[in-house]
A and B are shown apart, each in its own frame.
Chain A
Amino acid sequence: MEQAVFNLSQIEVFQPASLKEALKILNDNRDAEIIANATDLWPRIMNGEVKPKKLVDISGLRSELSYVKREKGVIRIGALTTISELSEHQFVSEKRYRAFNDAIKLFGSPQIRNRATVGGNICAASSSEDLIPVFLAYDAKVKLASVDGERIVSLDKFVVGKRELSKRHNEMMTEVFFEEPDDGYSSVFYKIGRRNTLIINLVNLAVVGKVQDKRVVDIRIAANRVKGKIPERARKTEEFLKGRTLDEETIADAQRVFGEELSLSDDFRASAEYRKQVLKVLLKRGLNVLGV
């Protein structure tokens, strides 16, 4: 008989009533894990992949951490904002934010969107999180709070590995924010999987950019995998495209540069070669959307 090495019912659960209280608990308990609305973490606890001794349940902090604010040219999204709530905000319907709209429509299922949070998706920190490439393509930053105060970290310095965040044990991500691109920008997000609902992506790609008179003024490209297994910007491809005239030849060259920049690995979902091929096709589609 297998020895029960870990008893789930022994988990100590903290349910703070305020952010301040939550940060105090985190500070006093090095071994505590933050749990938001649990759509990612709970199944991983139930199957034994994650074995927390203590949980700090922040789902009750919605009055402080669920919001979408648009002020002074910055969009600020509270960590506990659900995907459904994000979808209801007016900004996602604008052309320059189409990537958000595309990602939201393909996010989990309606039930998952009602629970999953923006902060949770970012902090889950894996290549299957669709919002990370989208936020990366908008040059987003995250706000980390602790008993010592707040600090700002750019998203690409925050998500540093598969299930790996660069933060101190007593810090909590409370907000993601980015400067609004002007309304001459366009954006698009693609996700390829095996069905249309509850897809775990094989690849995804977010493209945000500004093309004027066929010339690429600015472009940001992010995918769930560029090198290895974490979401990242494709900076070499971006540099290649900046300032060039967006014609068929440039697009073909950009696909080649992108293919060389990608350093992917095989896994049980798809081969590296397949992923590379699909990403190159998606880049072409994205550039065509921007060029229109």
Chain B
Amino acid sequence: MKSLLIKMNVNGVDREVLVDPDDRLLDVLRDELNLKSVKEGCGTGDCGICTVLMDGKPVLSCIIPAFQANNHKIVTLEGLNSDPTMQKIQQSFRKYQAAQCGFCTPAMEVVGWHLLNTEKKVDKNRIKEAISGVLCRCTGYYDIVDAVYEVAQQ
């Protein structure tokens, strides 16, 4: 029996979900709310693939107990799909072929979007810092940096 009731705003919608003490925010987003852009990589807070925005800041949903999301605002890539900046980022990812297997792509796009939405002047080093917490094992990162940089210059 799930024992804890949590209330959170996910992608603009207020939700109430029953969770177990050992459920992670990641589990609730994927399994209860069907938000499959959020992926599990390492499960230990190292790879960054499970990144979501919590109260506007990138965090790792695999090491956040679901009960700690109570009364917080969560945004996943699904919640940003119609945002103009995110659409530009996604077009740019296609142009630069910044996705290969695609597993890290949602997390890369979310941290890229967060950077462009919080800072006015963004150079390539700043982009590298912003994506440094997300591992990609295919692209070698350059295409991802270029894709975000092109949007930063617009």
The answer for the CA separation of A98 and B133 in the assembled complex, in Å, is 23
A84 CB–B CB distance under 8 Å: yes
Whether A198 lies near B46 (C-beta < 8 A) is yes
Question: Do A111 and B133 form a contact, CB below 8 Å, given A8-B22, A13-B21, A84-B57?
Answer: yes
The stretch among B29-37, B66-74, B87-95 that forms the contact with chain A is B66-74
Question: Do A196 and B64 form a contact, CB below 8 Å, given A8-B22, A110-B111, A114-B57?
Answer: no
Residue of B45, B59, B60, B130 with most chain A CB atoms under a 10 A cut-off: B45
Whether B63 lies near A15 (C-beta < 8 A) is no
Interface string of A1-33 (1 = CB under 8 A from B): 000000011111101000000000000000000
Q: Which residues of B contact A110 (CB under 8 A)?
A: 58, 111, 129-130, 132-133
A130 CB–B CB distance under 8 Å: no
Whether B43 lies near A46 (C-beta < 8 A) is yes
Residue of A39, A111, A112 with most chain B CB atoms under a 10 A cut-off: A111
Whether A38 lies near B64 (C-beta < 8 A) is yes
CB distance from A127 to the nearest CB of B (A): 19
Select A109's contact among B44, B54, B132, beta carbons within 8 Å: B132
Interface string of B41-65 (1 = CB under 8 A from A): 0011110100100100111100111
Whether B22 lies near A112 (C-beta < 8 A) is no
The answer for the CA separation of A130 and B141 in the assembled complex, in Å, is 28
Question: Do A42 and B65 form a contact, CB below 8 Å, given A15-B70, A112-B60?
Answer: yes
Q: Which residues of A contact B45 (CB under 8 A)?
A: 39, 42-43, 111-112
Q: Which residues of B contact A46 (CB under 8 A)?
A: 22, 43-44
The stretch among A52-60, A177-185, A273-281 that forms the contact with chain B is A52-60
Whether A11 lies near B133 (C-beta < 8 A) is no
Whether B59 lies near A111 (C-beta < 8 A) is yes
A115 CB–B CB distance under 8 Å: yes
A186 CB–B CB distance under 8 Å: no
Whether B65 lies near A38 (C-beta < 8 A) is yes
B138 CB–A CB distance under 8 Å: no
Whether B64 lies near A115 (C-beta < 8 A) is yes
Number of interface residues of B (CB under 8 A): 29
The answer for the CA separation of A55 and B70 in the assembled complex, in Å, is 15
Q: Which residues of B contact A59 (CB under 8 A)?
A: 68
Question: Considering the complex, which residues of chain A in the window 159-193 have a beta carbon less than 8 Å from any beta carbon of chain B?
Answer: none
CB distance from A54 to the nearest CB of B (A): 10
The answer for the CA separation of A13 and B23 in the assembled complex, in Å, is 12
The answer for the CA separation of A112 and B54 in the assembled complex, in Å, is 12
Question: Considering the complex, which residues of chain B in the window 1-46 have a beta carbon less than 8 Å from any beta carbon of chain A?
Answer: 3-4, 20-22, 24, 43-46
A197 CB–B CB distance under 8 Å: yes
The answer for the CA separation of A115 and B58 in the assembled complex, in Å, is 9
Q: Which residues of B contact A55 (CB under 8 A)?
A: 21
Would you list 28 pairs from A and B whose C-beta atoms are within 8 A, ordered by A residue?
A: A9-B20, A9-B21, A11-B21, A13-B67, A15-B67, A37-B68, A38-B64, A38-B65, A39-B63, A43-B44, A57-B65, A57-B67, A60-B70, A60-B71, A84-B57, A109-B48, A109-B133, A110-B58, A110-B129, A110-B130, A110-B132, A111-B51, A111-B59, A111-B60, A111-B133, A115-B63, A197-B132, A198-B46
The chain B residues found within 8 Å of chain A, CB to CB, are 3-4, 20-22, 24, 43-46, 48, 51, 54, 57-60, 63-65, 67-68, 70-71, 111, 129-130, 132-133
